[in-house]
Structure 1
Amino acid sequence: MNKKELILRTATSLFSENGFENTSMNQICNAANVSKGLVYHHFDSKNEILVEIFRNTTEQMKNISSLSSNESPSDQLLTIIENFFSQLEKDVVTLRLNLNVMFQPSTREFLKAQIEERSSLLYGSVKKIFDQIDQEKSNALSFMFIAELDGIALSFLSIFEDYPLLEIKDQLVSKYQSL
């Protein structure tokens, strides 16, 4: 792992644990065991670090939602569901941070472009699938599907301690495999 990745990973952890507003550049430097000069060589500000973390997560989402057009619409949805749950299980800290900063007015403002890009990406991918299933209802079906995933992420990452993630996944797969 290079120093920039180390800084991002450390900042992600600290932002997730302490909150963005409560984490200083000094804390990031100390936890990563790097100098302030090195951090500022890679990033102009703490805000820029957060934007980079958010961009990286969006890139991961692009990979999750890149689908084979040879698959049936149902299989494409199942692939999204599989990738979504896999990401939830393996990257809790980053996803929890992303969720938190999207709801904070101060961070939401300077992440506005990245949030819009991510939302547009997700909606566009899902809408293409639902256009194949029911063009007339694809808009509503797309937003409903995204809302289900968002609700699952919110519940798992920040509300329920013993969230039955695998059972929820099984129910969602069952619901969408018969389309």
Structure 2
Amino acid sequence: MNKKELILDVAIDLFAKEGFEKTPVSAICERAGVSKGLVFHHFKNKNVLLRAIFIRTTEMIGNIGKPHEKVRDPKERLAALIEAILSSMSEHRKLYKFNLNVMLQPATREILSDLINERNSMLFDTTDDIFKRISEDNSKTLTHVFVSEINGIALNYLYFYDDFPLEEIRKQLINKYK
């Protein structure tokens, strides 16, 4: 792992545990075993570091649905997307929790507002394309419902329940949209 990736990984961990505002760059440097100069060589300031983490996660999320884009049947494609989103959420739980946290905090939301809007548009457009193929008449409404369901699942899984039945929810959601 190169130093830039190490800095990103350490920052994700510390921001997730301590919060963005409560984590000084010096703590990142100490944990990563790098100088402040090296951190600032890669990232102009702590806000740029936060944006880099968010961009990295957005790229990961954007790649979730890529393998399933070639699935022709829209209901199968939606089922594959649900599988991919929930699997990724489970596999990268800490990263998703961190991302949800920074999107909901006013100070970090302001730093990331353009990136949050881009990510939301990406998810909405991908899902709307599927729902247009299922039902042209109300695709926007179905898309809003679906995105709200995914967001609600994420919130409950990541924050509210240690024993959240993600696997059962996945099955139920797929059945709902068959």
- TM-score interval w.r.t. the shorter chain? over 0.9
Q: Does structure 1 residue 115 correspond to structure 2 residue 116?
A: yes
Query: What are the within-5 Å matches in structure 2 for residues 1-179 of structure 1?
Result: 1-66=1-66, 67-176=68-177, 178=178
Identity of aligned residues (%): 45
What is the Cα deviation at residue 172 of structure 1?
1.0
What is the Cα deviation at residue 71 of structure 1?
2.1
| Local SS of the residue matching 2:86 | helix
Supply the distance in 1 between the matched residues of 2:25 and 2:165 (Cα, whole angstroms).
Answer: 37
Supply the distance in 2 between the matched residues of 1:70 and 1:145 (Cα, whole angstroms).
Answer: 19
Contact kept in structure 1, 2:71 and 2:77, CA below 8 Å: no
What is the Cα deviation at residue 70 of structure 1?
4.1
What amino acid sits opposite 2:5 in the alignment?
E
Supply the distance in 1 between the matched residues of 2:69 and 2:97 (Cα, whole angstroms).
Answer: 29
The one-character-per-residue Cα deviations of 1:118-161 (angstroms, maximum 9, x if unpaired) are 00000000000100111111000001011111000010111112
What is the Cα deviation at residue 65 of structure 1?
2.4
Contact kept in structure 2, 1:10 and 1:28, CA below 8 Å: yes
What is the Cα deviation at residue 174 of structure 1?
1.6
What is the Cα deviation at residue 93 of structure 1?
1.1
Report the RMSD for the aligned CA atoms in angstroms: 1.0
Q: How many residues align?
A: 177
Supply the distance in 1 between the matched residues of 2:153 and 2:71 (Cα, whole angstroms).
Answer: 28
What is the Cα deviation at residue 74 of structure 1?
0.6
Contact kept in structure 2, 1:65 and 1:122, CA below 8 Å: no
Supply the distance in 2 between the matched residues of 1:68 and 1:127 (Cα, whole angstroms).
Answer: 13
What amino acid sits opposite 1:88 in the alignment?
M
What TM-score does the superposition give when structure 2 sets the normalisation length?
0.96
The one-character-per-residue Cα deviations of 1:72-112 (angstroms, maximum 9, x if unpaired) are 10111011111111111111111111000111111101101
Structure 2: gaps (5+ residues): none
Structure 1: gaps (5+ residues): none
Supply the distance in 2 between the matched residues of 1:68 and 1:147 (Cα, whole angstroms).
Answer: 21
Contact kept in structure 1, 2:82 and 2:170, CA below 8 Å: yes
| Local SS of the residue matching 1:111 | helix
Contact kept in structure 2, 1:77 and 1:129, CA below 8 Å: yes
